[in-house]
Amino acid sequence: MCQVGYDENKLPKITMDEALTYLNEVVQKLYEQYGKYPVGDQIRYEVYIGSHDENDLSTDAYDYRIKALEQLKNEGVVLDYVLENRSEEVQKSQYFSDVYEFKVAKCLVDKEKLKEHVRILNQPRIYYDKETARGEVNGVSFRIKKGSPDDKVFVYLCENIGKAMPRMDILRVAKFYETHERPDKTRRNSETYLINELAKALRKKTGLTTNSLVNNNGELTLKGILLDLPQATPNKT
């Protein structure tokens, strides 16, 4: 399972969203090469790491990619990697050129774990502040009326991401049934209609799809990567 939260070491600290960005970059590059060369237990896939020259503005990106590789190694996706020096002539003008020196990582990977990480990292990135009922999906802001059934259901889904919210819990939050009441078979169609409409409303407000906010026979499940900080500043409206 993809765990975002890097081990502490001498590499720079980055936010969860930055971690996901560089983790996703490295995973996608590995997967791209896996698609071209899927056969071979000892085949190594190359990932561009960059330059570690202190005068190079891309130095931070170099460190972030190394950190992503270390994370993937800890999770068993990357079994081993070695850094190799490369150089490339860069034409500055008609008469002058320069040599750009950089590193690539040659990675031995567990192909099944790599495919699982691709699936996980392709899920939406979700942030929700239950105190303000404002949130984001993939950096796009949304707002839900605080204290509404939509808000209460979404808070539950975020706090239990990947797990289904039981049908009766949704109906009680929506005040369709009181806490002490038991389901009434004669009201089944009305129950289903309410849950369907609530799910549609949440998808419309958040931009989530039916693959990310799943309605399975009245049980709702949120699928995605929950962020601890927003990617963009929420609208103030």
Q: The domain spanning residue 170 has which CATH number?
A: 1.10.10.10
The verdict on 128 and 114 lying in the same domain is no
The pLDDT, as a whole number, for residue 51 is 84
The verdict on 178 and 219 lying in the same domain is yes
Would residue 9 count as lying in a domain? no
The pairing of strands 97-109 and 134-137 is unpaired
How far apart CA 161 and CA 223 sit, in angstroms, is 6
The verdict on 72 and 130 lying in the same domain is no
Distances (CA, A) of 153 to 52, 90, 234: 47, 55, 20
The verdict on 116 and 128 lying in the same domain is no
Sign of the four-CA dihedral 54, 55, 60, 63: negative
The pLDDT, as a whole number, for residue 28 is 92
Would residue 152 count as lying in a domain? yes
The count of structural domains within the chain is: 2
Would residue 237 count as lying in a domain? no
The verdict on 139 and 207 lying in the same domain is yes
Q: Which of 23, 87, 76 minimizes the C-alpha distance to 50? A: 87
The verdict on 37 and 66 lying in the same domain is yes
Would residue 231 count as lying in a domain? no
The verdict on 63 and 49 lying in the same domain is yes
The verdict on 114 and 186 lying in the same domain is no
The verdict on 99 and 190 lying in the same domain is no
The verdict on 20 and 115 lying in the same domain is yes
The answer to whether the CB of 79 falls within 8 A of the CB of 109 is yes
Torsion angles phi and psi, residue 25, rounded to 5: -60, -50
Full-model pTM: 0.68
- Report the CATH number that the domain containing residue 107 is assigned in CATH: 3.30.110
Which residues of the chain carry a pLDDT beneath 70?
1-17, 53-59, 231-237
Please, which residues have CB within 8 angstroms of residue 50's CB and are 6 or more apart in sequence? 56, 58, 59, 61, 62, 65, 102, 103
How far apart CA 87 and CA 3 sit, in angstroms, is 34
Please, which residues have CB within 8 angstroms of residue 15's CB and are 6 or more apart in sequence? 229
The verdict on 152 and 56 lying in the same domain is no
Would residue 25 count as lying in a domain? yes
Would residue 133 count as lying in a domain? yes
Would residue 106 count as lying in a domain? yes
The pLDDT, as a whole number, for residue 57 is 53
The pLDDT, as a whole number, for residue 4 is 43
Would residue 11 count as lying in a domain? no
- Render pLDDT for 195-227 as a digit per residue (tens, 0 to 9): 999 999 999 999 999 999 999 999 999 999 888
Which residue range is the domain that position 163 belongs to? 124-226
The pLDDT, as a whole number, for residue 88 is 86
Residue type, 43: I
Domain final residue, candidates 95, 120, 145: 120
The verdict on 85 and 160 lying in the same domain is no
Domain final residue, candidates 70, 92, 120: 120
Domain final residue, candidates 120, 151, 172: 120
- Render pLDDT for 6-28 as a digit per residue (tens, 0 to 9): 343 333 444 566 777 888 899 99
List the 134-137 sheet strands across, edge first.
Answer: 140-143, 134-137, 125-129, 225-226
The pLDDT, as a whole number, for residue 11 is 36
